[in-house]
Structures are given as structure tokens and as C-alpha cells.
Amino acid sequence: MSETSVRPPAVPFGEAVKTWARIAALSFGGPAGQIAVMHRILVEEKRWLGERRFLHALNYCMLLPGPEAQQLAIYIGWLMHRTAGGLVAGLLFVLPGFLAIMALSILYALYGGAGPVSALFFGLKAAVLVVVLQAVIRVGGRSLRNPVMIGLAAAAFVGIYAFDIPFPVIILAAGLIGFLGGRARMKAFLVGGGHGPKVTHEVADADTVLGEETPDHARPHLIWALQTGAVLALLWLTPVLGLGLTFGWDNVFSEIAVFFSKMAVVTFGGAYAVLAYVAQEAVQTYGWLKPGEMLDGLGMAETTPGPLIIVTQFVGFMGAYRNAAGMDPLTAGVLGGILTTWVTFVPCFLWIFLGAPFVEALRGARALNAALAAITAAVVGVILNLAIWFALHVLFAQVASVRIGPMTLDVPDLASVNLPGLLLSLAAGVAAFRFKVGVIPLLLGCAAAGVAYYLATGGAPPS
């Protein structure tokens, strides 16, 4: 991957590695929290880049599929130290979460049915339900600023909840509507979105390490972009094709590789939006997980550093663990988790290295920003579907699918309600919305409540 020469970076590479490791260790709280950490350290504290350049990079990452926080780290790492900087920043951002989720997945597979462990995850489920509901309100408050956006959100919810329209179709349709609305200069679509930091005082680009000028290596270079893109595409797709051609496309590892590769291309709108798609496919289509187990995985991801979408590693682990087909289940699970992480995150490097040199062409691109606004609005409806789907399958032991004309609705058996889970979820909601308890304290408190319930009753709580 050859690149044009550039002046020696003002920040030593070793210092950059230490900084990215620090950011990775502090990357809790979902994309909004992770972006805030990067902004505080890189813009306000280190002054590597200024406010406008940071937000311009963030806006570009928001237009891409995948976890925008990790892609922002890759982008800034690349700006500072070229390809090596982008690789280090992106890998370190994922590494702590990867190691933590792998260890938790192994423990879950071996001891998840044990009373204390089951009790802990029983408590986490209640907290995660509230966290997802908070995401609906947070994203909705940011993006549903007019009747058109509210209508898009409502249509997305009805489409996925009642008509089982696939998530990728909803996102592509919303993006197309927004793009056309932006081209037509319709005011309803010309609204912002994203997880941008709250700025109290602006750090000027001219007062930072990068300055105002574009580094030589960051200028469009078609040959380098194509060479780099080809290498990353091969790294991404070679395992997918190799597994399918060697073991058949119905093998669990081939299914994992294909499904999560497809997900990596359509994951617009953030982690909570795509989790509805992943949860329903993993549970209903592939049978890798039970509905409550998806919430367990999300609880793991919420309490560990790194991108929230790292929960997919848990899904791949459990899918391979339960479909080992002659292989040691634990070995199969570890390989499934590694494979899932690989095909989920390698494309992130591809999108940045291939497109970042041409990002200046997107500055002020009205139609693309309008497409993002429409996608963000549709995501509100998708996340609401996720919250309802989780709630039905966690709070009720029996949920039936009722067909009404072309619609299919999930209807719970009210007599099968999980009363302890319902009461703990209500308590978690009061703590989060009334007393503004943070995500990590909420998760830890609910986990402790689940264990306390187990100890008080002498048996594992209902799940």
C-alpha cells in the first residue's frame, strides 16, 4: 500500500498508540459517549485537530454503514499517521471489547444456566430494556423535528413490526426518499443528525497539530485508494468464499460469514437499529439464540468498552457453539466469535481508506445529508420495534403470532407475565428517567438486584 510522502508527523507514533489505547479503555456508553471521549482527548486536550475538522470527519462516518465511533477513530488515526495510524486506531478501539466479550461468552456458554449467573443476566435484561427505550427517545428527539420525519419513523415501525419488511429494505427506502427530498431542496429533509459533541468553545483548526491544510497523503490518490481497497476487500471476502466453497453454504461458519458480511453493508443508523435485524434473524431464521439471550449479549456489550455492535461476536459465538457439527463446541464458539468480529469490522477499514481521501467532495453535499436525516428518522421506528420485541419476549413466557390480513402481530399471553422481571424493569425505568441514573450504574444495580432476588428466593429467577 504505497502512499505519497508527507512531512514527519508532529505527534510521535508511540504517543499516538498510547493515546488510542487510552481512548479504547474509556470507550463505554455507546457511540455518543465514545465520540465524546474522543472529542475531549483529541480536540480539547491533545489539540491534534480542530472542531470543524473533527465534525467534518464525523459527518462522513455517519454516512457510512458500520459503527461510526470506530470509523471516526480510523479516520483521525489515518489523518495523523497515514495507513499505520488508521490501522492502530481502529484495531485498538475494538480490541478491549473483543477480549471482554470473548471471555464473557465462554463463561456464558459454560455457566449461563447456573443459578447465580442466570440471576445476574436476569437483572441485566431489565436494565437493557430501559437502555433501548432511552435510545428511542434520544434518537427521536434529535431527528424527528417535523411531521415528515415523524411519518418516516412511523412507517418504518409499521413496516418492520406488522409486515416483516426486512431492515435493509427499510433503510434503503428511507435513504432514497431522503436523497430525492434533498435534491428537491425540501426543507423537511434538510435537518441534522448524529452524535456530535456539545461544544462550549471551539478549538480552531489553525491552532492544532494538523492545522488547516490537508496533509499530502490525505489528498485524493486513486491508485492508492484502489490498491488499498482491493487488499481490504480480499481480507474481508476471502474467508467468506473459502468457507462457503469448502464446507458448503449451509455450514454454520459459512452462514455466520455471509450473514454478518451482509450486515456490515447495511448497518446504517447505529447499533440499536441493526440489533433489531440481528436479533430477529439470529433467533427466528437461524435459531442461534433465544430472545432473552440476545438481551444478555447486549448487556455484556453495554458493560464493556468498545463499539456496541461488538455484541455480534456473542451471537456468532453462540451460533457456532450450538451447531459445532462434530467439533469441540467451545472451540467452534471461539472460532465463530473471531469470524464474526472479522467480517463485521474489516469493512470499516475499507470504507475509510477507500473513501476518506475523497471526503472533501462530500462537504456540503445536501442530498447525502438529507439521506442520512431520513435514515436516522426511520431508525427511530426500527429501534422502537426492537424495544417492543425484546419486552414481549422477556416479560412474557408465551408470545403468539396473530395474522390479521397482510399483517402479522406478536401478541403476548398476559397470564404468562414474568412479574419479577416486570417489576424490576419498571424500577429501572424510574431510576433512569426520574433520577437520571447513568447506564453503567443502572446495569450494575439491576444485575445486583437479580442476584439478590436469587439469594432471597433460593432459586434462579424466571427468565
Distance CA 96, CA 12 (A): 23
For the segment 319-324, the average pLDDT, to the nearest whole number, is 96
Q: Which helix (H) or strand (E) holds 402?
A: strand 399-404
In whole numbers, what is the pLDDT of the chain averaged over residues? Answer: 86
Distance CA 86, CA 95 (A): 14
Model confidence band, residue 1 (pLDDT cutoffs 50, 70, 90) = very low
Distance CA 39, CA 26 (A): 12
β-bridge mates for residue 401, sequence order: 410
* pLDDT tens, position by position, 386-418: 788 888 887 998 989 899 999 999 999 999 999
Vertex 456, ends 450 and 457: CA angle to 5°? 90
Which one has a higher pLDDT value, 4 or 233? 233
Model confidence band, residue 316 (pLDDT cutoffs 50, 70, 90) = very high
Highest mean pLDDT among 103-117, 133-147, 231-245 belongs to: 231-245
- Fill in the DSSP letter of residue 281: I
Least confident of 257-271, 390-404, 431-445: 257-271
Distance CA 349, CA 354 (A): 8
Distance CA 278, CA 435 (A): 32
Least confident of 114-128, 268-282, 316-330, 405-419: 268-282
* pLDDT tens, position by position, 175-212: 899 999 999 989 898 765 555 555 556 788 788 888 87
Q: What pLDDT score was predicted for residue 26?
A: 84
Q: What pLDDT score was predicted for residue 212?
A: 79
Distance CA 252, CA 324 (A): 8
Q: What pLDDT score was predicted for residue 191?
A: 66
Residues 171 and 375: beta-carbon distance below 8 Å: yes
* pLDDT tens, position by position, 89-110: 999 999 999 999 999 999 999 9
Q: What pLDDT score was predicted for residue 434?
A: 95
Model confidence band, residue 7 (pLDDT cutoffs 50, 70, 90) = very low
What's at 55, amino acid-wise? L
Least confident of 184-188, 223-227, 245-249: 223-227
Distance CA 402, CA 256 (A): 30
pTM of the model as a whole: 0.81
Model confidence band, residue 424 (pLDDT cutoffs 50, 70, 90) = very high
